[in-house]
Chains A and B, each alone.
Chain A
Amino acid sequence: MSGPLIAFYVISLCILGCAVLMLSFRKVIYMALAIGGVFVGCAAIYLLLGAEFVGVAQILIYAGAITILMMFAIMLTNHEATEPPFQWNARNVASAVGCILLGILILLVIRSTPWPQPDTSVDVNGGNSNPVAIGMALFKQYAIPFELVSLLLIVALVGAVILAQHRKEDE
């Protein structure tokens, strides 16, 4: 049991715990907080796997921006809303059974697949620090996808503003 492995299991437990908590909370606002825990845990996993930049971005965007955005949305709508406890109706049972079956199937597949031995001798960052390597890749190899994504963000931004603004005829 090495240090990183122990850390991984602890973090995994935290993530899954937060996720299950999110499912079991009643109040919507608590759920949003629980999801924040999941996001932070994921960021920790990334750091463990050597993806520093992605980990930090994960914290900034998910744990920071998106969670806060969710909070806002909840506050702007029905912030008193609560989820009812589990109801034994057909759909919920079917969902539960389906998700469990799917999970078991995937786990079985993972178990039966012979995973290659990771090649730890290769430095994916090519001697640079991780952010520098990612920057190089983004602006050289992935320049066009990068620009397209920026376009997508702009469109999403404008679209969100237009969708969310008050209009006279809505009154």
Chain B
Amino acid sequence: MAGGAPFPIPTGSVLALAAILFCIGLYGALTKRNLIIVLVSIELMLNAANINLVAFSKLSDKPSLNGQIFSLFTITVAAAEIAVGLALLLAIFRLRKTSEVKDLDVHKW
């Protein structure tokens, strides 16, 4: 059984925050027309996941640093992802003169 004074923030609330943030991000990624905003929405989803990681690092019955470390790795990978993503975006923009998702349909039948 866990000891010490109860932590003031309930686990479920933090997770609910992350879940809502994730769904907002998903909605943005699926509906926004601008490629940059789609990327931003994906970042939002990554942040939601990070909140969960950090939350469990503190709010589990066996707290440890692993969650924080993992979220650091996630942040790093996200940084790399956004750099490549934006570079791709620039290249696409130069070639196609557009940054809208619906125009990028070279795989259409």
Contacts and interface: CB of A to CB of B under 8 A. Distances in A.
Interface of A: 2-5, 8-9, 12, 15-16, 19-20, 22-23, 28, 31-32, 35, 38-39, 42, 45-46, 48-51, 53-54, 57-58, 61-62, 65-66, 69-70, 72-74, 76-78, 81, 83-84, 91-92, 95-96, 98-100, 102-103, 106-107, 110-111, 113, 115-122, 124-125, 130, 133-134, 137-138, 142, 145, 149, 152-153, 155-157, 159-161, 163-164, 166, 170
B6 to A, nearest CB: 7
A124 B57 contact: yes
B54 A45 contact: yes
Contacts of B23: 99-100, 102-103, 106
Contacts of B94: 166, 170
B7 to A, nearest CB: 5
B34 A83 contact: yes
Interface centre among A39, A103, A125, A138 (most CB of B within 10 A): A103
8 contacts: A5-B9, A23-B27, A28-B36, A49-B55, A49-B58, A69-B82, A118-B59, A152-B80
Contact of B44 (A35, A84, A149): A35
B86 interface: yes
B14 A45 contact: yes
A164 B2 contact: no
Given A62-B78, A160-B87, A163-B91, 15 more contacts: A45-B17, A51-B54, A54-B71, A57-B75, A66-B82, A70-B36, A76-B90, A78-B99, A95-B27, A95-B31, A134-B69, A152-B76, A153-B79, A159-B87, A163-B84
Contacts of B15: 110
A118 B11 contact: yes
Contact of A19 (B7, B21, B71): B21
B104 interface: no
Nearest to A115: B11
Contact of B57 (A32, A49, A161): A49
Nearest to A103: B23
Contacts of B76: 149, 152-153
Given A78-B99, A83-B37, A152-B77, A42 B51 contact: yes
Contacts of A28: 34, 36-37
Given A134-B72, A145-B73, A164-B90, A121 B65 contact: no
